[in-house]
């Protein structure tokens, strides 16, 4: 298949490399011409993936029109905040209806659009209603996919045929791909786990232990599940790869930008200082405010998400935020469970 990967960051490059190994004709696009020229000459991505050398068979370009017109499958690996802009640029190319219907777009970004509170697949579909839209997500760091370490992901789409097509394109002996029709659960799990990972990082920065981390992960997935189910998602999705799986890897891994940013904040850095030190996009910060707004709109309590917002945007210390989470009103763990009565 002819595949265009839009976004030449670590995740885009790792996926382009993976797809080339699967025998596809791959082009990697980035918007900065100078950087793409350097990648073309050196075949190296840079500090974000120092061990990856792109094969010569992967074309590297900054020509947006060319990559869109020539490819059947477009992988959106740009930051979540650039998803609408990227989709709109495709719409402005004025392709024919037939050309648009023949294109499949796979979002591998994770987030919620703050201005509309839409999931990213909804943003793409709004701009490109004639294209087939899918999502690929799960517990995966670019560093490990680039090394061909065993990984499992989920391909989601409204149509089974579309999800299975993505499954076939990406799956091989070291990257296993499942399918799912639950875009709501998948995308909310993928987006909101980044916010919970910020909280987990803050706990690490404060010197808290495994007990704290386990509590944040477990109660984090409970919060995400409540919101997903309220919006029509399936609870099973949040107990799977794109829920608890993605949450575990992002809260625990040394590769996690969100955990690292949170840890720096927990150690006393300002948000700005933490982001500068990470040096790459931290999607949890982009998503936190949108997650809180969406929860408030739906009337779903999300205390960890709220606490992270207070630290990021209201000047509350991470230690105070944890303390306030601990002294909230007493409650049962699972509100649907009932005591047996005689």
Which residues participate in catalysis according to the annotation? Answer: 193
Q: The tokens of 74 are what?
A: 């477009």
β partners of residue 20: none
β partners of residue 297: none
């Amino acid at each position: 298949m002819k595949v265009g990967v839009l976004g030449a960051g670590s995740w885009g490059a790792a996926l382009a490399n993976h797809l080339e190994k699967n025998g596809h004709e791959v082009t990697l696009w980035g918007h900065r011409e100078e950087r793409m020229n350097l990648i073309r000459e050196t075949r190296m991505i840079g500090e974000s993936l120092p061990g990856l050398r792109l094969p010569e068979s992967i074309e590297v370009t900054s020509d947006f029109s060319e990559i869109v017109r020539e490819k059947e499958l477009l992988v959106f690996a740009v930051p979540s905040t650039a998803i609408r802009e990227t989709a709109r640029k495709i719409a402005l190319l004025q392709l024919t209806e037939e050309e648009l219907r023949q294109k499949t777009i796979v979002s591998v970004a994770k987030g919620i659009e703050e201005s509309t509170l839409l999931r990213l697949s909804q943003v793409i579909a709004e701009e490109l209603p004639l294209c087939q839209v899918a999502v690929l997500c799960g517990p995966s760091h670019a560093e490990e996919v680039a090394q061909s370490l065993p990984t499992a992901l989920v391909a989601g789409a409204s149509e089974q045929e579309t999800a299975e097509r993505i499954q076939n394109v990406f799956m091989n002996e070291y990257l296993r791909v499942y399918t799912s029709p639950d875009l709501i659960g998948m995308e909310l799990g993928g987006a909101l786990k980044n916010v919970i990972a910020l909280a987990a990082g803050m706990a690490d920065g404060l010197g808290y232990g495994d007990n704290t981390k386990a509590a944040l992960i477990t109660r984090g997935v409970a919060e995400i599940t409540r919101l997903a189910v309220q919006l029509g998602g399936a609870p099973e999705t949040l107990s799977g790869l794109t829920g608890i799986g993605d949450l575990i890897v992002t809260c625990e891994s040394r590769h996690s930008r969100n955990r690292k940013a949170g840890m720096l904040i927990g150690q006393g850095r300002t948000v700005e200082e933490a982001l500068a030190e990470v040096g790459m996009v931290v999607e949890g910060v982009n998503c936190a405010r949108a997650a809180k707004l969406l929860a408030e709109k739906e009337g779903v309590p999300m205390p960890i998400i709220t606490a992270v917002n207070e630290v990021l945007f209201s000047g509350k210390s991470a230690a105070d935020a944890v303390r306030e989470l601990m002294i909230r009103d007493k409650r049962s763990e699972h509100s649907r469970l009932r005591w047996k009565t005689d």
